[in-house]
Copies of this chain bind each other. A is one copy, B any other.
Amino acid sequence: MTPKQKVYQEVLHEIRKFIENHDLEPGDKLPSERELSEKLQAGRSSIREALRAIELLGLIETRHGEGTFLSTYRSYQTVDLLASFILQENKTKNDIILVKRIIEKEAAKIAFSSLTEKEIAELDEIVQNQTAETAQIHRTFFNCLVKKTDNLLLARIWMLLEEFSNTIQVLNFHNAFYRELVSLYKAKAYDLIEPLFHKYSN
């Protein structure tokens, strides 16, 4: 016996099948809630429970008065919500700082190979800015790097941690760190990135 599944779970499954069978692609429209309700022999509320769940996962997008569409972009809303729960039960400051440092270090390494001269110059400019605070420089600097990794998940996690860091007292790197990192980019010295982070991470 299959332990009776909830209706919304079946609906979830049916919707997936529908998308598959009709070769729907991001941006395409799903049948209306009322239509699905009839077709799948389920109450509209059950249909909606399923849709809301999928929506939270960032797979669909609903537009009031228009309809429900397959998402065109990966929203990572899921990651956000999970993070808010996880961060809530893990308020250990040191844990957050450590993970954030790891992400930043790896982002710095991944970005290395794809950085153009122009982008390195931009980073240099950020670092040379005398008027900005260190926290501001840090954010702008790593925001660039993280985006250059072309890894949305990595970027998202970093942004969440960065946001959270603002609410706690976080020690940034020494000013010299950023300048030295840019130097390494200019010198194409990949292997020195890892040691640089170690040097400045006490």
| Interface set of A (CB-CB < 8 Å, partner B) | 8, 12, 16, 19-20, 25, 45, 48-50, 52-57, 59, 74, 78, 81-82, 84-92, 94-96, 98-99, 102-103, 106, 110, 151-154, 156-157, 160, 194
Q: A45-B45, A52-B8, A102-B102 are in contact. Are A84 and B157 (CB under 8 A)?
A: no
Smallest Cβ-Cβ distance to A78: which chain B residue: B57
Since A25-B89, A57-B78 are in contact, a sample of 12 more A-B pairs with Cβ atoms closer than 8 Å, ordered by chain A residue number, is A16-B81, A16-B84, A19-B85, A45-B45, A50-B52, A52-B53, A53-B53, A90-B152, A92-B153, A95-B153, A96-B153, A98-B110
CB A158 to nearest CB in B, in angstroms, measures 10
CB A77 to nearest CB in B, in angstroms, measures 8
Copies per complex?
2
CB A87 to nearest CB in B, in angstroms, measures 8
A99 to B160, CA, bound (A): 15
Complex A-B: 26 CB contacts under 8 Å: A8-B52, A20-B88, A25-B89, A45-B45, A45-B48, A49-B52, A52-B52, A52-B53, A53-B55, A54-B85, A56-B56, A57-B78, A57-B82, A74-B91, A78-B78, A78-B82, A82-B160, A87-B153, A89-B152, A90-B152, A90-B153, A92-B153, A95-B151, A98-B153, A99-B154, A102-B106
